[in-house]
Amino acid sequence: MSIDYSAKIPNNVSLSDNRRLKRALEEWQPRFLDWWRELGPEGFQQRDVYLRTATSVDAQGWATFGYVKMPEYRWGIFLAEHGGDRGIGFGEHRGEPAWQEIPGEQRATLRRLIVTQGDTEPASVEQQRHLGRTCPSLYDLRNLFQVNVEEGRHLWAMVYLLHAYFGRDGREEADALLERRSGSADNPRILGAFNERTPDWLSFFMFTHFTDRDGKYQLASLAESGFDPLARTCRFMLTEEAHHLFVGEFGVGRVVARTCELMKQHQTDRVSEYGGIDLATIQKYINFHYSVSLDLFGSELSTNAANYYSAGLKGRFKEPAHDDDHRLAESVHKVLKPESGRIVASEEPALLALNEVLREEYISDSERGVERWNKIIRNAGVDFALKLPHRGFRRAIGNFKDVHVTPDGDIVSAEEWQRREAEWLPTTAEREFVGSLMKPVTRPGEFASWIAPPPRGINHQPIDFEYVKLRPIAP
C-alpha cells in the first residue's frame, strides 16, 4: 500500500475517492498549520532538518530521510495494512468480524477514547516547544523535531478518524484539539501529565522514556480494537512511537554515562561543579516522571475500562497472547490498595482491573529500561543503582491518591511527606541547576558537558553530520 504524495494530504486511505471528507480535512489543514506555527517548536521553522517521512506503511520502506523545513513536513494519514480477515478478539463481540463502521451505541464512548488519545499529541508538542533553544547538540535537536513532527502526525491520525466517522461532532472535536492548551488554566489538555512543563532536556528525555511509553501501551491496546480503522491507525502509530522511546531511553542513558565518566575522572559523586548531573538528581527526575506517567493509566478499578473492553473497543496489551476466555467475566486480578496504614493486595474482578493490568505491563517494561541504565553505571565501575519508586508513590489518580507513599512503599503522614519530599523529588534548586546547564551546543559533532555523545548517528550518518542546518539564512 503506497502513499499518495501528490495529494495535498498524503494518505493511503483513498481520500481522493471521498470528496466531502477530503474537503473537510483540507479545511482543517490550514488551522493545523496555524497551530503548528504558533505553538510548535519555537524558532527553527525555516531551518532544514534531517527528518524521516513515511512514504509507505510496510515494514521495509516506510521511512525516507531528507532535509525538510518543519512546516513543509508531509503530515498525512496512514493506516497499517489490513491484517487479513480480522475478527474481534475480546469482549462481548468476540469472534464477530471487526467493524468497518462504528456501531451506533458505541459512538460516544469511542469518540471519547479517540479524543483523549488525540489530545495528548499536540499537548506534547506544546510542552516541548521551548527546548530547541537549549539543545545539547544538533543530533539531539533533530531528534526533538522528529518526535514533534510525528506527534503532529499522530494528531492527524486521530483527526482523520473524527472527520471520517463522527460527522459534525467529530469535526467539532477536531477543532477543539487545536484549542485546548497544555498548562492552560481555563482550557487545559485532558490528562494530567500533559499539563506539566517540560522545562529542560533531562525532563524531555524522561518524558519520552516514561510518558511516551504510556503512549506505547495505550496505542497497543487500541490497536486491538474491534473498530478496524482505529486498530490499523494505532498499529502504524506504534512504528513511529518506537523512535520516541529510543530518544528517551538513550537520552537518559547518555546523561547517566556522562555523569559516571565525570564521577570517575574526579573521584566524586558530586559532579555538578564539573558540569554534570548527579545520579541522585537523575533519580529524583525518574521519581517525578514515572509517577506522573503511572497516573495516565487511570484508576486501578474502572468501570470505564471494563466497558471499553466488553464493548470490544479497547483490548489488553497483546490481547491474543493472553491465555484465557478474552471476556473476563469470571476472572480475578490482585490489586494493591492502602488499608489502615499498610499496602495490601485485594482480589478484584479482572474486568474492572484492566487499567491496572495494563499498568503492570508498563511497569515491567519501565523496569527493563532502568536495568539498562544500571548496566551503564555498573560497566563504568560506579557503585550506584537507579530504581523505580513504588507504584503508589505520589499518585493523583486511583487507590493511592489520598495517601502519602514513599518511594520504598511505606505510607507516611502528610507531615513526614512534606518534611522529606526534597529527598525524593527535584527541588527548586536542583531544577534551577539543571536549567543552568541548558546552554545550546550547535556545532556539528559537539555535545553539552552533561551528556555523552550517542554511539552512532541517525540513518547511518556520522555523529558530526549537520542534522539541522543553522548557517545564516540568505536574506
Residues with Cβ within 8 Å of 122's Cβ and at least 6 positions away in sequence, in order, are: 35, 39, 151, 152, 155, 177, 178
Per the CB < 8 A criterion, the answer to whether 244 and 206 are in contact is no
Contact positions with ligand BYC (CB under 6 A) in 206-245: 211-212, 214-215, 218
Which window, 66-74, 109-117, 226-234, 380-388, contacts ligand BYC (CB under 6 A)? 109-117
Question: Which does residue 211 bind out of Fe ion, ligand BYC, none, counting CB within 5 to 8 angstroms by kind?
Answer: ligand BYC
Name the residue with cell 564521577.
263
- CA 132 and chain centroid, separation: 18
| Of 11, 12, 53, 124, the one binding ligand BYC by CB under 6 A | 124
Question: Which does residue 48 bind out of ligand BYC, Fe ion, none, counting CB within 5 to 8 angstroms by kind?
Answer: none
| Complete DSSP assignment for 395-449 | -SSSTTTTSEE-TTS-EE-HHHHHHHHHHHS--HHHHHHHHHH-----STT---T
Site string for ligand BYC, 384-423 (x = CB under 6 A): -------------x--------------------------
Question: Which does residue 174 bind out of ligand BYC, Fe ion, none, counting CB within 5 to 8 angstroms by kind?
Answer: none
User: Per rule CB under 6 A, is residue 146 in the interface with ligand BYC?
Assistant: no
**Cα dihedral 217, 310, 395, 338 sign:** negative
Site string for Fe ion, 226-245 (x = CB under 5 A): ---------------x--x-
What is the smallest separation between the CB atom of 469 and Fe ion, expressed in angstroms? 25
User: Per rule CB under 6 A, is residue 296 in the interface with ligand BYC?
Assistant: yes
Backbone angles phi, psi at 235, to 5 degrees: -65, -40
Question: Which does residue 302 bind out of Fe ion, ligand BYC, none, counting CB within 5 to 8 angstroms by kind?
Answer: ligand BYC
| Cα atoms found within 13 Å of the Cα of residue 475, Cβ hemisphere only | 0
Among candidates 448, 202, 222, which has minimal Cα distance to 318?
222
User: Per rule CB under 6 A, is residue 355 in the interface with ligand BYC?
Assistant: yes
- Choose between 241 and 356: whose C-beta lies nearer to Fe ion: 241
As a whole number of angstroms, the distance between CA 418 and CA 204 comes to 26
**CA angle at residue 76 from 17 to 251, to 5 degrees?**
160
User: Per rule CB under 6 A, is residue 122 in the interface with ligand BYC?
Assistant: no
Binding-site ranges for ligand BYC (CB under 6 A): 113, 116-117, 120-121, 124, 151, 191-192, 211-212, 214-215, 218, 295-299, 302, 304-305, 314, 355, 397
